[in-house]
Amino acid sequence: MRIAFLCKRQYMRKDVIADRYARLYEQPRQLALRGHDVLGLCLSYRGTDVRDETHPALPGNLRWIGLAPSRSLGIFAYPWRAEEALRAFAPDILVGASDSPHIVLGDWLARRLDIPFAVDLYDDFESFGLTRIPGLLPLYRNAMQRASVVSCVSEFLAERIRTEYKTMGKVIALPSTIDRAVFRHLDRTQCREKLGLPASARLLGTAGALHASKGIVPLYQAFELLSQHAPQLHLVLAGRAEPSCPPPTGQNVHCLGELPHPQTAELYNALDVGVVYLRDTPYGRASFPQKVYEMVACGLPVVVARVGAMKALFGDTPNSLYEPDDEGSLARCIEAQLDKPTVADIEIRDWASLAGDMELAYLSVLE
């Protein structure tokens, strides 16, 4: 197959092409490794360098084109510039990913080229702020309804796409996964030493966006409850905190800031218990936090909000599930994991296996 991916260039504070980062990079790469001819077309919302390069992916071919806003028309020239690049590549199928504008643009381009259109949802894009742009939401929903294939980060989101959007094509659940070479068992003592954390304390922690809207507040509250009778417990936080929602303070709180990817693995290996926080909102129910797999791969006992896909994933380890927005429930689960640590037995598929599911779905459209 000749497969084109259309997505944004900057993703999770990374550059998809330069950093070769996560889902938006790995899906095209893995399909190329399966022998397909793949083009990744990345559009940037802000000024950046222009890229046109081929990356190793034998026996297939993987080319990346990164477009920057034009000097005269800015991002408004993208539809025609993207169409020109796609006509030169002549794909059999076009995949739109990364956010609602790219889904809408991808749908328009696929109809212009008269080829099937597929969508990949690493999140519930309707919950993103971009859908507040006047007129964008109905265009997004129409594009989703017309799609020939929709791959979703969780089964919960896939079911919503089937029922609410009434998508006419094939809808599959396709979670993101992790780099097992990075997220693995490491020596706890060495990891604590590298991060400047106390060697003998009980460490509770997390990494990510430390935002109230994501559900971080119950963790702060649960730590304050537990620390009243557990002075040896420390809270370790990696990520950017909101000024309006500051973390607790004190000598038992360690704020590490934003860590490079390999150091996040060191953090998870340094902890006694990790927390994956979510709220019971449309965004939270549709999410599949990648840090779940990262923590489990490091052998870390975790506590996770009982929301969306997490309910089924941790069904065999009930001590791992707390009620969202309930600091008392979270504190009890943390205590249980500190007292009797249990690492969830969860299958973590690799990118190559997941690409096989995508390949079958796309081939079924082209048959």
Burial 180-191 (b: 16+ CB within 10 A, else e): eeebeebebeeb
* Mean pLDDT for the stretch of residues 211-218: 96
Cβ proximity of 162 and 171 under 8 Å: yes
What pLDDT is attached to residue 214?
A: 93
pLDDT at 364 over 90: yes
What pLDDT is attached to residue 283?
A: 86
Task: State the Cα–Cα distance between residues 26 and 21, nearest whole angstrom.
Answer: 7
Cβ proximity of 363 and 31 under 8 Å: no
Task: State the Cα–Cα distance between residues 331 and 319, nearest whole angstrom.
Answer: 11
What pLDDT is attached to residue 182?
A: 94
Q: What percent of the chain has pLDDT over 70?
A: 100
Cβ proximity of 113 and 139 under 8 Å: no
Task: State the Cα–Cα distance between residues 104 and 142, nearest whole angstrom.
Answer: 8
Q: In Å, how far from its chain's centre is CA 222? A: 26
Cis previous bond, 262, omega within 30: no
Q: Report how far apart, in Å, the C-alpha atoms of 47 and of each of 77, 130, 286, 330 are.
A: 14, 19, 31, 43
pLDDT at 12 over 90: no
- Please give the structure tokens belonging to residue 348: 């973590």
pLDDT digits (tens, 9 = 90+) for 45-76: 998 999 999 999 999 999 999 999 988 888 99
pLDDT digits (tens, 9 = 90+) for 251-286: 999 999 999 888 999 999 999 999 999 999 988 988
Mean residue pLDDT of the chain comes to: 95
- Please give the structure tokens belonging to residue 356: 């096989």
- Please give the structure tokens belonging to residue 228: 């009243």
DSSP annotation of 320: G
What pLDDT is attached to residue 318?
A: 83
Architecture category of domain 188-339 in CATH: 3-Layer(aba) Sandwich (3.40)
CATH 3.40.50.2000 in the chain, residue ranges: 2-177+351-366, 188-339
Cα radius of gyration rounded to whole Å, the chain: 22
What pLDDT is attached to residue 10?
A: 94
* Mean pLDDT for the stretch of residues 96-118: 98
Q: How confident is the model at residue 356 (pLDDT cuts 50, 70, 90)?
A: very high
The candidate with the shortest Cα–Cα distance to 52, out of 41, 65, 70, is: 65
DSSP annotation of 248: P
- Please give the structure tokens belonging to residue 103: 């889904």
Exposed / middle / buried, residue 127 (Cβ in 10 Å: 0-12, 13-18, 19+) = middle
What pLDDT is attached to residue 223?
A: 98
Would you say the C-alpha torsion 211, 151, 168, 134 has a positive or negative sign?
positive
* Element housing 266 (H / E): helix 261-270
What pLDDT is attached to residue 286?
A: 87
CATH topology (fold) of 2-177+351-366: Rossmann fold (3.40.50)
CA atoms within 13 A of residue 340's CA, in its CB half-sphere: 6
pLDDT at 343 over 90: yes
Q: What percent of the chain has pLDDT over 90?
A: 89
Q: How confident is the model at residue 149 (pLDDT cuts 50, 70, 90)?
A: very high
**Number of Cβ within a 10 Å radius of residue 329:** 18
What pLDDT is attached to residue 316?
A: 86
Residue 37 phi/psi, 5° resolution? Answer: -95, 115
Q: What is the pTM of this model?
A: 0.90
Cβ proximity of 296 and 302 under 8 Å: yes
Q: What one-character-per-residue DSSP string does 112-138 give? A: HHT--EEEEESS-GGGSGGGGSTTHHH
What pLDDT is attached to residue 71?
A: 85
Task: State the Cα–Cα distance between residues 3 and 6, nearest whole angstrom.
Answer: 10
Task: State the Cα–Cα distance between residues 287 and 175, nearest whole angstrom.
Answer: 10
Task: State the Cα–Cα distance between residues 132 and 154, nearest whole angstrom.
Answer: 24
Q: How confident is the model at residue 147 (pLDDT cuts 50, 70, 90)?
A: very high
What pLDDT is attached to residue 90?
A: 98
What pLDDT is attached to residue 106?
A: 98
Q: How confident is the model at residue 164 (pLDDT cuts 50, 70, 90)?
A: very high
* Total number of residues shown for the chain: 367
Task: State the Cα–Cα distance between residues 32 and 123, nearest whole angstrom.
Answer: 24
Task: State the Cα–Cα distance between residues 61 and 214, nearest whole angstrom.
Answer: 39
What pLDDT is attached to residue 129?
A: 87
